[in-house]
Structure 1
């Protein structure tokens, strides 16, 4: 999501300037590849680019092809095949062994329509499918409530799933809350901060979406993630009774040992609907606020992606 936000911000500037641009989109991958379908790379006429379609191995060659597409004002369909050790094939010796199909679109009206739709979906905070068609006679792009992601070669149609931007509520204003917030901001998550606003770090306050005092929280949604790290038992009890009990959320994590949570549950006035992760975070032996933040974010990602957090070397099926 962070890369997409960077591309959208740069696109807004470039579209206003009138400069020639091209937008490359990965539409199909077969085998191993660093990026998946939906990855994008924005290129301007000066050779600058944002985003990427590989781990850095293919961007240089794609840049040349994008400049040609801009010059000709023609959509290009590019295939990189690194599955075989062919000395005449770009990609020889690369770490990944897969086929990557990319569409380079330099047509300004197409890019404008893509920008408008994608930005509106991101700002809505809701996940949606996007279906884009590049054929010889027309370009179309639309949002769909339900669809099957993939690339249809015959109709030149690409359907992708665009997940919602992660919204996280960090509850507590101790220094470890700041470590978690910093990491979430690095990932371009939408951060809401709850605590004593008078004690919150001012520089961090300016970078989150919103700050709330303990009893003034509003706008919680079922798709939100919540992490309680108040270091205050009574405060956790009060917050859970007021905002969490009888409510369903995507993820809830609470700092502290299991015995503390057992005591906490006895103080609740209503039932818990959501599953609670406590102690919060994956078991990576984290020490200190920064490592704990990594463990918490890793657990949220594993939960969102329906993974168990094991080491990839032990995964018996493909990564994606």
Structure 2
């Protein structure tokens, strides 16, 4: 999300200066790589790079190829193979033991639905969308349509496909991705072979911090670095000020009963209770429990949280034990945190782990960091196809 925002901003600056640009996208990975499919980088003709497609080893070569793409105004599919010694001779030391396929496409500012315009449609709302990128993995010399369409939550399609024959199949798969939440790569075989990266884009995380004490300051700062939306709520007007939380999108002074007015809550919204005021935290927790949120963090000892939950259940019999399964208290991963900065780091890490459905364990104990089996290419043969 943050990468897309940065790319849009960089593109707008380049457009103001009448500087051409190209978009590099990792469309498929075989084996291991630093970035996975969907990683993007904007390249301008004056050599500015925004975003990343690797850990820094591919960017220089991609810049050279992107400049060629801008001149020719023709998309190019580039493959970097770590098993190929020629890559080392060219100065591309990948060191990640995989094959990375990168699509580099010029951005035509005159086109109504060029990639950055599609990004802007996604960024304008807090709704998931599916972005469709077409290329030909089996024939690099074939036309590479590129980032061509976006399907929103209401099934509205923006953009167009180069071949109407595959549109129906593509839209069925895109709707399936939107419903089930998994990006896929498929090869559609119809006369020529099209490979399609059907990518789910999720809205940025919305972090609602209940409490504007000093320990909330590093938490909101770290969330901002990740590109999360940040809202700070507290009943103390002298604490909820821009000077203390310069990067927060919303600052709300309210009592618990009015704290959530005007706040949009969805499955990408997480809360952290940290007012250090027992009654305020409990009043907020009482409102949040029935919402079945993905993550509710509670600062303080486990005993304090259990006491709040017991009191809430005694007065509200509709709240069952299972309603607290999404409450994490004490909030944060066990990394030996002591001061406010370290505690903020542990909370941010726990939220990330919960949203990604990970356990937060050290990577040294994993034999495979990213399971690329989930990203393998699926094939679909369309009607009237000659093989």
Q: TM-score, normalised by structure 1?
A: 0.92
**2:295 matched to 1:260?**
no
Give the equivalent residue in structure 2 for 1:101.
101
The structure 1 residue matched to 2:143, chosen from 115, 136, 139, is: 136
Residue segments in structure 2 that go unaligned for 5+ positions in a row:
136-141, 152-173, 178-182, 372-387
Q: Is the 8 A contact 1:80 1:91 kept in 2?
A: no
The structure 1 residue matched to 2:295, chosen from 251, 264, 267, is: 251
- Partners in 1 of 2:301 and 2:44 — Cα distance? 52
SS at match of 2:95: coil
The structure 2 residue matched to 1:240, chosen from 285, 309, 312, is: 285
Call closer, same or farther: CA 1:18–1:157 in 2, change over 3 Å.
farther
- Partners in 1 of 2:368 and 2:87 — Cα distance? 30
CA shift for structure 1 position 91 = 5.9
Give the equivalent residue in structure 2 for 1:117.
118
Give the equivalent residue in structure 2 for 1:187.
226
Give the equivalent residue in structure 2 for 1:169.
208
- Partners in 2 of 1:161 and 1:221 — Cα distance? 20
The structure 2 residue matched to 1:150, chosen from 185, 190, 212, is: 185
Residue segments in structure 1 that go unaligned for 5+ positions in a row:
none
**2:354 matched to 1:303?**
yes
CA shift for structure 1 position 15 = 3.1
CA shift for structure 1 position 277 = 0.3
Map 1:1-320; keep pairs closer than 5 Å: 1-85=1-85, 90=90, 93-108=93-108, 109=110, 113-134=114-135, 136=143, 140-143=148-151, 144-147=174-177, 148-150=183-185, 152=187, 154-195=193-234, 196-215=236-255, 216-217=258-259, 218=261, 219-223=263-267, 224-241=269-286, 243-268=287-312, 269-270=315-316, 271=319, 273-274=323-324, 275-320=326-371
SS at match of 2:131: strand
Q: Is the 8 A contact 1:192 1:208 kept in 2?
A: yes
Q: Is the 8 A contact 2:233 2:252 kept in 1?
A: yes
Greater relative contact order (Cα 8 A, min sep 6): structure 1 or 2?
2
CA shift for structure 1 position 173 = 1.1
Q: Is the 8 A contact 2:41 2:53 kept in 1?
A: yes
Call closer, same or farther: CA 1:252–1:91 in 2, change over 3 Å.
farther
Q: Write the deviation string for residues 170-190 of structure 1: whole angstroms up to 9, x where unpaired.
A: 110111101100000111100
Q: Write the deviation string for residues 77-118 of structure 1: whole angstroms up to 9, x where unpaired.
A: 101111355576546654211111011111415695321222
Q: Is the 8 A contact 2:32 2:370 kept in 1?
A: no
Q: Is the 8 A contact 1:22 1:107 kept in 2?
A: yes
CA shift for structure 1 position 212 = 1.2
Q: Is the 8 A contact 2:363 2:369 kept in 1?
A: no
SS at match of 1:267: helix
Q: Is the 8 A contact 1:27 1:151 kept in 2?
A: no
Call closer, same or farther: CA 1:82–1:289 in 2, change over 3 Å.
same
Call closer, same or farther: CA 1:107–1:184 in 2, change over 3 Å.
closer
Call closer, same or farther: CA 1:70–1:133 in 2, change over 3 Å.
same
Call closer, same or farther: CA 1:84–1:69 in 2, change over 3 Å.
closer
